[in-house]
Chain A
Amino acid sequence: QSVLTQPPSVSGAPGQRVTIACTGTSSNIGADYDVHWYQQIPGAAPRLLIYGSFNRPSGVPDRFSGSKSDTSASLAITGLQAEDEADYYCQSYDSDLSGSIFGGGTKLTVL
């Protein structure tokens, strides 16, 4: 069981907006540690999508955005495209565990 909780799956039609939640506790997101997001297309290695809760690395479309509040964070994807179908993971730091932690992952299906 992951320390960060994500929904197992979300779905949306092309062009729609979807959000993926990442819920933590007072020892990680609630302690104001940043949240980072990764995209993993089947058969490939993960790639960084959002870092520092809100920032996009170069090359990541602005359709992807991150937010953070209290003990939770969210990844929003607008203008959904077929190529967005992938697994998405959130990651943060936990002070009780003294290490990085990941969410269990969310499978995004583009209908």
Chain B
Amino acid sequence: EVQLVESGGGLVQPGGSLRLSCENSGFTFSTYWMSWVRQAPGKGLQWLANINQDGSDKNYVDSVKGRFTISRDNAKNSLYLQMSSLRVEDTAVYYCLRDNDWFDPWGQGTLVTVSS
């Protein structure tokens, strides 16, 4: 069974940093592009970033460029999102996703709250 389990969310002050992790199992992690998608409370879905199989190609949505960094460790079957200069508007549930052009499956996500 394919499983993606996000962790690392929590409460952080504006301007602070946080590192999200995602442990993957049930599929050959190293052969897939991976993405992060978020959903602010009561809002829609927003794709944030993706990374190719060996980590050499990364893409970001403009609103997080220069603040967020996606990375992966294929030996640990893990995906990461390093977030810095966090803003109140970054408050959301963050999902780690296998990127086949479409996203499937979806885990429960990890909640990041940016507030003073």
Contact = CB atoms under 8 A, between A and B. Distances in A.
Interface of A: 2, 34, 36, 38, 45-48, 51-52, 57, 89, 91, 93, 97-105
A21 B70 CA distance: 32
Contacts, number: 62
A89 B37 CA distance: 13
Main secondary structure of the interface of A (DSSP, over half): strand
B78 to A, nearest CB: 20
Interface of B: 35, 37, 44-47, 49-50, 59-62, 95, 99-109
B45 A89 contact: yes
A45 B107 contact: yes
Nearest to A45: B106
Contacts of A45: 95, 106-109
Contacts of A100: 35, 37, 47, 50, 99, 103
A34 B101 contact: yes
B106 A51 contact: no
Contact of B105 (A47, A97, A105): A47
B47 A46 contact: no
A102 B107 contact: no
A55 to B, nearest CB: 9
A104 B39 CA distance: 11
A100 B107 CA distance: 19
B57 to A, nearest CB: 11
A8 B103 CA distance: 22
Contact of A52 (B45, B50, B102): B102
A101 B44 CA distance: 11
A105 B45 contact: yes
A91 B108 CA distance: 19
